[in-house]
């Protein structure tokens, strides 16, 4: 198996996944209300050096580039499969495995290191090392900002008394149950890992994926895309045949049409390297 086995074992790298990731990123940002937490933004110089780890489609850097036209923005990922063909002139994308010791020439060079949703690429035993690795990228006074979702806090509901959500419940329970060992860590351990890495002023904010009500339908649809892509990928065994899966998916879209939705919590964690 390749060195990126952890992510690739369960996740897809298709062109459809690029637009799903972009949609997911935008919906999370809309609920957060920012790309860079205001506590960090207030301290960033206009020529900030910013790294995004597990950058995927580089959506974070593409959104941040116009805010820091004098900044230097570097995206790193274990694979270039999601990299866009064009990026703003102050953005560069490269390969880096966050689980490996970081190259010496990058140590102490960034004002901000950002990470969003790396959980599927990490095992429980990786987190502390990865947080320590990424903290080493920071300049004195620099910040690490990291968003992970607590999918274990998911629930479903409906906008209207007649809304249905049983099919949404069934597929979401299957996906989250399968990945529960992965989802039980990260969102709740990052603050401790940041402190262990020597970061100060460690903070956490929890925002519901339903803070902005208009995102609930699109976010539920986005979640269904990942659920059914995964269920059909054959990467894990599931208790449905193709016909049952088709029926379940059709019912999920009817659930969404009726006002049914799923929601969970988004955890933002940050810490600063001492001056």
Ligand X SMILES: C[S@@+](CC[C@H](N)C(=O)[O-])C[C@H]1O[C@@H](n2cnc3c(N)ncnc32)[C@H](O)[C@@H]1O
Contact positions toward ligand X, by CB under 6 A? Answer: 4, 7, 21, 25, 53-57, 59, 77-79, 82, 97-99, 116-118, 120-121
Q: Residue written as tokens 């004195």?
A: 140
Among the listed residues 166, 157, 160, the one whose alpha carbon sits nearest the alpha carbon of residue 258 = 160
Task: For the CB of residue 64, give the shortest distance to ligand X in the complex, in Å.
Answer: 13
Reference 187, options 117, 98, 113; nearest CA is 117
Cβ closer to ligand X: 68 or 82?
A: 82
Question: What is residue 131's three-state secondary structure?
Answer: helix
For the bound state, the minimum distance from the C-beta of residue 204 to ligand X, rounded and expressed in Å, comes to 18
CA dihedral 118, 121, 124, 126 (to 10 degrees): -90
* Residue closer to ligand X (CB basis): 39 or 79: 79
Residue placing its CB nearer to ligand X in the complex, 35 or 251: 35
The span from the CA of 106 to the CA of 10, in Å, is 30
Q: Decide: 184 and 154 in contact? Cβ < 8 Å.
A: no
Q: How far is the CB of 67 from ligand X (least distance, A)?
A: 18
Closest CB to ligand X among 127 and 165?
A: 127
Smallest gap from Cβ 200 to ligand X, in A, equals: 25
Task: Compare residues 125 and 241 and give the one whose CB is closer to ligand X.
Answer: 125
State the CB neighbour count (10 A cutoff) for residue 38.
8
Smaller CB separation from ligand X, 114 or 273 = 114
**104-143 b/e (C-beta count within 10 Å ≥ 16 → b):** eeeeebbbbbbbbbbbbbbeeebbebbbbbbbbbbbeebb
- Please state the closest distance from residue 126 (CB atom) to ligand X, in A: 8
For ligand X, the closer of residues 7 and 183 by Cβ is 7
The angle formed by the CA atoms of residues 203, 205 and 210, to the nearest 5 degrees, is 170
**Alpha-carbon span 48 to 169, nearest angstrom:** 43
CA atoms within 13 A on the CB side of 33: 8
Q: In sequence order, what are the beta bridge partners of 2?
A: none
Minimum Å gap between C-beta 251 and ligand X is 26
Task: Output the smallest distance, CB 62 to ligand X, in A.
Answer: 11
State the residue number with the nearest CB to ligand X: 121
Beta bridge partners of 93: 75
Rank residues 17 and 255 by Cβ distance to ligand X and give the closer one. Answer: 17
Residues whose CB falls within 8 Å of the CB of residue 8, separated by 6 or more in sequence, listed in order: 2, 79
Least separation in angstroms between CB 226 and ligand X: 9
């Amino acid at each position: 198996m390749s060195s990126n086995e952890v992510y690739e074992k369960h996740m897809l790298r298709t062109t459809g996944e690029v637009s799903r990731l972009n949609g997911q990123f935008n919906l999370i940002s809309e609920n957060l209300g920012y790309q860079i937490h205001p506590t960090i933004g207030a301290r960033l110089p206009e020529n900030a050096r910013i790294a995004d780890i597990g950058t995927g489609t580089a959506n974070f850097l593409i959104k941040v580039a116009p805010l820091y036209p004098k900044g230097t923005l570097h995206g790193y990922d274990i694979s270039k499969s999601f990299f866009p063909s064009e990026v703003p002139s102050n953005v560069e994308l490269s390969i880096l495995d966050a689980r490996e010791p970081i190259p010496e020439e990058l140590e102490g060079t960034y004002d901000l290191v950002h990470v969003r949703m790396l959980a599927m690429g990490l095992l429980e035993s990786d987190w502390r090392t990865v947080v320590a690795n990424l903290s080493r990228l920071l300049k004195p006074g620099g910040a690490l900002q990291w968003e992970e979702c607590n999918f274990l806090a998911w629930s479903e509901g409906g906008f209207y008394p007649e809304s249905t959500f049983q099919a949404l419940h069934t597929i979401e329970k299957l996906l989250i149950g399968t990945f529960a060992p992965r989802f039980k860590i990260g969102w709740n351990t990052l603050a401790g890992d940041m402190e262990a890495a020597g970061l100060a002023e460690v903070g956490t904010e929890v925002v519901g994926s339903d803070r902005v009500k208009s995102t609930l339908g699109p976010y539920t649809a986005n979640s269904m895309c990942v659920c059914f892509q995964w269920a059909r990928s054959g990467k894990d065994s599931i208790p449905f045949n193709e016909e049952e899966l088709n029926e379940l998916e059709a019912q999920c879209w009817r659930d969404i049409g009726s006002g049914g939705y799923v929601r969970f919590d988004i955890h933002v964690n940050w810490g600063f390297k001492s001056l």
